[in-house]
Structure 1
Amino acid sequence: MRTPLSLLALSLSLLSAPGAMALSEFGIEGMGVVSTKANEAQATIAPDGKRIVWASDRAGGAGGAGGWDLWQAQLRDGRWQDPAPLALNTAGDEVDPFFSHDGAWLYFASNRDSGRGGFDLYGVMIREDGSFGTVLAMPVTVNTAADERRPAVRPDGQALLFARNGKGTQGFDLFVATAQGRGFNTATALPAPLNSAADELGGEWLGNDGALAVTRVVGGHSQVWVVGCDYRKPAVPLGLSFNTADGQTGAPVVDASKPGEMVVAGQARSPKAGGLDVYRMRAPMMVCR
């Protein structure tokens, strides 16, 4: 059920619901379950709408050493319930989860000991019963000795968007690798001005035509920008009240079960659960000509 955003609605809905949206603008996701007093970052929702996975620095992660872990909750009686850490968590950090739109894979980033260097990208197949298979590192066409973050597979499965720093980049830049069989070809950087002197710390596909929602970090502040299919044209800020140049907003991910909606991580004045929370809003519509 969707709830209009107002102080009254907020007081009535300390939301554990999967999305408060007939909201004129945004609503908090899963108050007390997904969004808590801890920090919650990128979230992703399975194509069947029955599971959400997100990154959190709350206590109790399966890695046992604190830091960032991946958590999940199930949709029951219209609410996110039973938050629990994923068994694939390690003593390192697991962040940036992303469900493929066919429901076959969960992708994420981790700085676990087995990587090629810093943060690398990983994928895990989802079995028919919903359990996770073996964690597999992305190939050397994607993972390098630099940091790779924020994997996002295009809805048609034919391209992988992610962020990388290292040789030849301006901090973090956006890269795309096209699909080849069950893997990906060598990644190439997107052009300027989309990649800029700021950090482009990942993004999300707004359909299959190439339009993107991108997280850009300047001076420690993060903001979401949207751009059409011509990446040489300027991006514009996402229309969200707390998506400001002096705020913290990022990690946009379209809800695979409701493509007209999107979740972002950010810090709003209200509603607010803790530090970084997860919010839901309408996905921006970008027309590619």
Structure 2
Amino acid sequence: MMRILTAFCACLLACGEEPKRVVLDGEPELAFPNVVTTENSEVKLTFSPDGQRMLWGSTDRTGGPGAWDIWEIVRTPGGWSPPHLVSFNAPQNDFDPSFAPDGSGVYFFSNRPGGLGGDDVYFVPVREGAYGEAVNLGPNVNSTGDEWGPVLSPDGERLVFASDGRGGKGKHDLFVSVRSDTSSQAWAVAENLGPAINSELDDFDAAFLYDGRTLVFASERRGADQVDLHVSSPVRGRYPEPTWLGNTINSTETWDFGAAVNPREPGVLYFNSYRPPHVLGRGDIYRVRYRLER
């Protein structure tokens, strides 16, 4: 346990002693209206590093094998293709896709048979543009509970996800697992990101910002059944108490979650919200420009 935490903290020390803050540039706007964002519910957009694919989850788009399915569009000579199902969907729930920064595959969660609990984290490789077989990441990551929102750090060494089955401070806590074999999906036993970043309620859906260390994530810590986006930048190797991102991003109409970034767009944050009058469905994806300052 100490070896893992020491290695994780060591890779954060370079960020300095002063926490970074997120400064927003402008107002959120609908992301890819009528292409990705539609009258359906779209959640947790992810981008392939080569810019050729976008994937997301939907809870209500018809035509899929499960209740929750993962959809994608691909770039063609004539523009983006119509949305279609990814080949690795199961008849159960599949959700929260997130591309590996090197484009080697996609992380997601599923409650398909053969897992360790409810929702487990899986990885599906991408080879020559085709998806392979989904692989369960095993007991060092997954538990008898639910794991959500897996995301890999830009250097490919840290997997952050939410779990309610590994103990912790609240319902879902944020955990990190360090890669133990650079040539495979072998991960060390996951460790809690700490009592400052996690609350007594749900904390989930993290995303690494362009510095590779600062985390934006969804949290229920403000209470009143409200989920908002918060940010925490490590100081001396530890994540301090997060900062609420304010009502420019956070809406009073619904939960704000599903933080995501595009490696080809540093300084742009994607997230889920409901922001009348700029809406297409009940769960829309928005984008907003930001910068990090000390």
Aligned twin of 1:35 = 37
Q: Is the CA contact 1:212–1:227 (under 8 Å) kept in the aligned structure 2?
A: yes
Secondary structure at 2:55's aligned position in 1? strand
Distance 1:80 1:240, change over 3 A: farther
| Distance of 1:104 and 1:270 partners within structure 2 | 39
Distance 1:209 1:48, change over 3 A: closer
2:226 partner letter: H
Q: Is the CA contact 2:260–2:269 (under 8 Å) kept in the aligned structure 1?
A: yes
| Distance of 2:230 and 2:77 partners within structure 1 | 35
TM-score, scaled to structure 1? 0.84
Deviation, structure 1 residue 242? 4.4
Aligned twin of 2:219 = 216
Q: Is the CA contact 1:30–1:79 (under 8 Å) kept in the aligned structure 2?
A: no
Following superposition of structure 1 onto structure 2, how do residues 103-252 of structure 1 map, counting pairs within 5 Å? 103-128=103-128, 130-166=129-165, 168-169=167-168, 170-181=170-181, 182=184, 183-207=186-210, 210-217=213-220, 218-230=223-235, 231=238, 233-239=240-246, 241-244=248-251, 247-252=254-259
Secondary structure at 1:74's aligned position in 2? strand
Q: Is the CA contact 1:211–1:286 (under 8 Å) kept in the aligned structure 2?
A: no
Q: CA RMSD in A?
A: 2.1
Candidates 269, 273, 278, aligned match of 1:271: 278
| Distance of 1:201 and 1:281 partners within structure 2 | 20
| Distance of 1:225 and 1:190 partners within structure 2 | 15
Q: Is the CA contact 1:53–1:71 (under 8 Å) kept in the aligned structure 2?
A: yes
Secondary structure at 1:24's aligned position in 2? strand
Distance 1:286 1:246, change over 3 A: farther
Q: Give the paired residue count.
A: 262
Distance 1:262 1:76, change over 3 A: farther
| Distance of 1:173 and 1:228 partners within structure 2 | 17
Q: Which has the higher contact order (CA 8 A, sep 6+)?
A: 2
Secondary structure at 1:221's aligned position in 2? coil
TM-score, scaled to structure 2? 0.82
Q: Is the CA contact 1:54–1:72 (under 8 Å) kept in the aligned structure 2?
A: yes
Q: Is the CA contact 1:34–1:80 (under 8 Å) kept in the aligned structure 2?
A: no
Distance 1:105 1:93, change over 3 A: same
Following superposition of structure 1 onto structure 2, how do residues 1-20 of structure 1 map, counting pairs within 5 Å? none
Q: Is the CA contact 2:118–2:146 (under 8 Å) kept in the aligned structure 1?
A: yes
Deviation, structure 1 residue 213? 0.3
| Distance of 1:214 and 1:223 partners within structure 2 | 8
1:155 partner letter: P
CA deviation map 1:76-105 (0-9, x unaligned) = 478543110112111211111100111111
CA deviation map 1:170-205 (0-9, x unaligned) = 100000001111221100001112111121023111
Aligned twin of 1:17 = none
| Distance of 2:174 and 2:166 partners within structure 1 | 13
| Distance of 1:260 and 1:179 partners within structure 2 | 27
| Distance of 1:202 and 1:177 partners within structure 2 | 15
Distance 1:233 1:103, change over 3 A: same
Secondary structure at 2:81's aligned position in 1? strand
